[in-house]
Structure 1
Amino acid sequence: MNPGVAESNHGRDVFLPWNNPDNIISFEAYMLIEHVLVCYVNPSVFFVGFPTNILNCVVFVRQGLRDRMNLCLFCLALVDMFYVVLYSLSGSHCWVGFFRPDLENWWKWSVRSNLIGFYQGFQLSSGCLTMIISVERCVCVFMPLKASTLVKTRTIGLLILSTVFVVQLLCLTYSLKMDVVLRSNPFTNVTDYQLFPSSLYFKHQLIFDIIQDIVTNTVIPLFTFTVVFVSTIITVVQLKRTIAWRQSSSSSLQENSATSRQLTLVKTLVIVSCIFIFTSSPIVALSTGSLLEPEFFINRRYNNLFYVSYLLYSTLCLINSSINFFVYVHRSSRYREELRALPAFRSLCRYVWMR
């Protein structure tokens, strides 16, 4: 039997999803793209995202977490750091395989099955925190005098904590859904480690499918994307009006300098939101494509194309979680001052300069 053929139905071959000839992307091309992204691109992003998110956390702690925006940005950097670390670890089989090829496949599926719930949770949490920040700034631009009384630091802290906890709880279903088993593929006669649905999943399949297919894969990503998109547009429009009004009505240099820091902060966070919108837009395309073409999904005709698209989306999410440092450095003089004040950063700059 042809290894790519699942069965024969009245003389017509029925192909496995990954070897279906109607696939726009072949299985070999998918494996090559996965190898390049997971083994080369993602580790490169890790070496940028991990240290810069640590610097973000340190700077915002030094600036003071009693300020609600510092608290929000600290939590965002912390969540992004965990996501960058855990998602990069899911590709550690590349390096294990370099030394122990016999363990590569086992390591790959074991690590992914245990970590997927956590890094998926941190990825969604990053989007939720970006949404909270975007809405908070929108409220501040519209009601600058009432924002401090309407949105308190304690309230924001509790909201962030509860959001991350609930999202992580929902995403634990990813790790509980699959087990790593040694199985023989009946079509290729190759025995190797594979992911197989767990007994817990078979007992509660409906609950797992609702949480994953509807809540975590569709509702949360699309909701956060939509809210960030709408609130960012509203903030930009209102910000332009505010700047125009202050330029035409303010005659006090002291008033202009007092408000310039807040305006800079809003502009910085608008850029952060825009980056999130750009890097999250593929999830909208994936969801829309699956609705318009039911075969564009896992284990269906366009299985390979769906996986490649999701891999590219995950890499963009990784980049989104690693790029905020450069936005802060470029846009915020206060951030740069605090960064220069760090002894470790000064030593690093001195070392690089001497080199």
Structure 2
Amino acid sequence: FYSTGLHDSVNISLLTLAVADLCSVTLMLWTSIWEVIDLTHPPPFLLDPYSVSMITGTLPRIILNRVSCWLTALISVERCVCVAFPFKVKVIFTRRNSSLLASSVFFVIFTSHLSIYSSRYLAPKWIPALNITRYSIVAINEPFEVVKTSLLFLFLPLMNISFIILCTVVLIVKLKVSTSWRKNTGTGNHHSRGGAASAGSKDARVTKMISTIMVIFVMCNTPSNVLLAASAIIPGFNEIGMHSRLFVCVYILTVLLETVNATVNFFVYYAMSSKF
């Protein structure tokens, strides 16, 4: 995106989203390395592999995924403004404004979710089965922490995906209307009509690409939101409850889908953007 130019406001948002996705996929690889170490049952040492993967890999990846979610929401708003107010979008979403908005979303969402480390951290714990003391993850389940976690990882994600679904529907409807209008336009000066069609075609291509990204996003991230809602509603549906095995299986599937979403965006850009 940097090489194709950052004069276009949507490119700035897409670049920020690509950075978040790249970091998320890298952390997924880091987490996998520690998971493999844990599954091979290495000799006991000072650090618990699972806890290290959780603190240094899983939690940061989840935070970056939330950053990607809100950046996708920002991009969807920009496209909705483009189709609703085509003559004002360049005034509202200037290069400076887009850079400020994308940076603010990244910073605010990332730093606000870092508060989860106040209730989860590494601490020395005695492991009777191994007869050693090792650093393992410790979770604090105080009422305030439970409310904060529910707000950050349940209500806000559900709000985010609902908003993106709404924007996706608006974009798809507007795209169909715009395509139909261009096909039925048969009056006016040929050159002016050709210029308008060319500009409209460019906007339509960008809108179609963004719509595709958002559809993939909704398909890949809805299961994780459903899982979070189910774990909050169904007793015992968590990693240590009565339905722990089912929860873990579904959780692994949601992680794979989120990783696919972070990975596939580049191929969407490559296939659908005329700038590549």
1:22-53 per-position Cα deviation (integer Å, ceiling 9, x unaligned)? xxxxxxxxxxxxxxxxxxxxxxxxxxxxxxxx
Q: Say if 2:257 is the partner of 1:320.
A: no
Q: What secondary structure is seen at the aligned counterpart in 1 of 2:222? A: helix
- Conserved in 2, the CA contact under 8 Å of 1:113 and 1:174? no
Query: Which residue number corresponds to residue 73 of structure 1?
Result: 14
Query: Which residue number corresponds to residue 143 of structure 1?
Result: 85
How far the C-alpha of 1:314 sits from its partner, in A, is 1.4
1:220-249 per-position Cα deviation (integer Å, ceiling 9, x unaligned)? 211111111010001111111112112212
Whichever residue aligns with residue 245 of structure 1, its letter is: W
**How does the TM-score come out when normalised to structure 2?**
0.86
Q: What secondary structure is seen at the aligned counterpart in 2 of 1:197? A: strand
Aligned length: 268
1:194-273 alignment runs, 5 A limit: 195-197=136-138, 201=140, 205-212=142-149, 214-249=150-185, 251=190, 252-273=193-214
Query: Which residue number corresponds to residue 222 of structure 2?
Result: 281
Relative distance call for 1:162 and 1:229 in structure 2 (3 A) is: same
- Conserved in 2, the CA contact under 8 Å of 1:90 and 1:115? yes
Among 48, 52, 69, which residue is 1:127 paired with? 69
1:91-110 per-position Cα deviation (integer Å, ceiling 9, x unaligned)? 21255469992258723322
Q: Say if 2:122 is the partner of 1:179.
A: yes
Percent sequence identity is: 24
Structure with greater contact order relative to length (CA < 8 Å, sep ≥ 6): 1
Alignment partners' CA distance in 2, 1:94 and 1:284: 24
Structure 1 unmatched ranges of 5 or more: 1-59, 336-355
Q: What secondary structure is seen at the aligned counterpart in 2 of 1:179? A: strand
Alignment partners' CA distance in 2, 1:111 and 1:94: 7
How far the C-alpha of 1:194 sits from its partner, in A, is 6.8
Relative distance call for 1:261 and 1:215 in structure 2 (3 A) is: same
Say which one has the larger Rg: 1
- Conserved in 1, the CA contact under 8 Å of 2:38 and 2:50? no
How far the C-alpha of 1:164 sits from its partner, in A, is 1.7
When the two chains are superposed, the root-mean-square deviation of aligned CA atoms in Å is: 2.5
Relative distance call for 1:67 and 1:99 in structure 2 (3 A) is: same
Q: Which segment is superposed worse, 242-251 or 123-132?
A: 242-251
